[in-house]
Amino acid sequence: MEFHLFLPQMRLSFERLVASARAAEAAGFRGVAGMDHLTPPGAQQHAMYEATVTNAWIAAHTQRLVVGSLVLCDAFRHPAVLAREAVSLDHASGGRFELGIGWGSWAEDFTRFGVGPAEPPARVRRLRETLEVLRALWSGETVDYDGEFHRLKGAAQAPGPLAAIPVVIGGTGPKTLALVREFADWWNVPVHHLDKLEQARPQAGGARVSAQQMVAYVPGGGDRAAVTELAARRFGAMRPVIGTGPELAEHFTRLGERGVERVYTWFCDFAAPDTLSAFGAEVISRCR
């Protein structure tokens, strides 16, 4: 199993984001992923940085970490712009960029800012078109495309990717899983849908399985009650897993036995560097 750090670029300075990313790299994490919203879900009062700029900054300050987002919202970007942003990040990072993309999960991004299409069925159709356009532009060929949402005529982009840019798509709905089968290298299962993993797995085709997991790490000699209280304040009803290093290693081993090959860990203490170091020593090292 490989571990990626889910590090939302909210309520953290760029200096702190880099410190956590470097600590994750030293601790054995394989990658780091942020979020992509126009207003922070449930936390509109807090400041937040843009996703792709944050990816570029973290990539520039690390050496091995894969950078990406869980996930970029398709409707925020024209696919030609996204195609060029992705290739730019791919080249700048030396091939360490992955494209996590979805059709949008937070309604206020659409209603508050007037982003469209607002209705989920149309957003799913738009995401399919975007994935088709990305694939065509990254091929290096001249592209003519006449869709419901996107129209290109004689379009081409250079340079192309250094290699195939991995695509991560999350969700368990039938229309989303159809996109996973056709376009994704990784299928990300939301934590609240892990109970559907075995049922939905055949619909994901050849995509590898990842999952997001909220984590409340209890250090050796730490106060479990205090950590549990912090997790409840931070994550509410999102079912974090709470435990010591050995307990968490056992939990993630069981996930691996269910076919999960990657976990995006979201720490309740905002990924404090000391927490990441201890998690690497006590959990990542045991799950390899």
**For residue 105, what pLDDT is reported?**
84
**For residue 64, what pLDDT is reported?**
98
Rounded distance, CA 147 to CA 126, Å?
Answer: 9
Rounded distance, CA 186 to CA 207, Å?
Answer: 5
Which parts of the chain have pLDDT scores under 50?
none
| Residue with the two structure tokens 């950590």 | 227
CA 218 to chain centroid, in Å, comes to: 24
**For residue 236, what pLDDT is reported?**
84
Domains in the chain: ranges and CATH:
2-210 (3.20.20.30)
Q: Are 105 and 125 in contact (CB under 8 A)?
A: no
Contacts 24+ apart (CB under 8 A), 220-226: 220/244, 220/245, 220/278
**For residue 228, what pLDDT is reported?**
95
For 205, residues 6+ apart whose C-beta sits below 8 A from its C-beta are 180, 181, 182, 184
| Residue with the two structure tokens 């922070």 | 40
User: What pLDDT, in 10s, does the model give residues 7-60?
Assistant: 999 999 999 999 999 999 999 999 999 999 998 888 888 999 999 999 999 999
Q: What is the pTM of this model?
A: 0.96
Rounded distance, CA 89 to CA 66, Å?
Answer: 11
**For residue 15, what pLDDT is reported?**
98
**For residue 44, what pLDDT is reported?**
83
Residue 22 has φ and ψ, to the nearest 5°, of -65, -40
